[in-house]
Amino acid sequence: MPPDIRLQKYIAQCGISSRRKAEELILTGKVKVNGQTINKLGSRIDPEKDKISVNGKLLQKDTKKIYIKLYKPKDYISSCKKYPGEKNIFDLIKDVPYRLYPVGRLDKDSEGLMLLTNDGELANRLMHPKYQHEKEYEVVIEKYLPVKDIKKLETGIILDGKKTLPVKISIIGSKKINMILKEGKKRQIRRMLESIGNNVLQLKRTRIKKIKLDNLTPGTWEFINNPNLQ
């Protein structure tokens, strides 16, 4: 590790959070360097000399990075925070002595591939919009998708005042399609299809970049090597 590094990057490398979340921790005054609260971005630290704490806990950089791929079942939430009466993906991960974080999310009513890790830097690269990593989905829809609607979806739909990036669509069956996206707006696929008068009945993510769901079944998971994101 270099002797001079941005504070939020170091926090992410320690496996506390993604870099984005680390920035939030700093801005909300939950980070201290040598006993002094830091609440502005841009600070640089020397990990060999400076003592950094988050929420009162002194940080130590994890030497081992953990990567897990999980088949999230439908009706599970993909959040670090647990809610009474809700099934959480972390209920499925047993006997892993590391604090893990989900790389992005899947809606409660969606299923499929999720990645969990304590590698904040990798999580940031996978989630940041500028990297445009491919994510692939199998989608069961309410009614047949005509060519004109496929072209609309592939060229982009206006969501939240902005046009979505181009997507790739292939037909699997009369009411089943495959979609490849390079971004991840909230409930994007469902909203895109609703905008052309169709509805999603079932949505399953099968791939994130080169990482595939493969033979995992709902609720199962396995360790994987450091994903190659280059």
The residues near 220 (Cβ < 8 Å, ≥ 6 apart) are: 70, 71, 92
Provide the 10 A C-beta neighbour count for residue 26.
22
Angle at 212 between CA 211 and CA 214, to 5 degrees: 145
Phi, psi of 127 (to 5 degrees): -90, -25
Which strand ranges, in their side-by-side order, compose the sheet holding 36-38? 36-38, 31-33, 52-54, 57-58
Which residue among the candidates 50, 62, 107, 109 is catalytic per the annotation? 107
4 is catalytic: no
Counting runs of H as helices and runs of E as strands, what totals does the chain give? 5, 19
- Structure tokens of 120? 């904040």
- In whole angstroms, what is the distance from residue 50 CA to residue 66 CA? 26
Q: CA-CA distance, 224 to 150, in Å (whole number)?
A: 35
Between CA 169 and CA 223 the distance in angstroms is 30
Q: Would you state the structure tokens that stand for residue 97, as one six-digit string?
A: 């002595």
The residue assigned the tokens 């699997």 is 172
| Residues designated as active site | 107
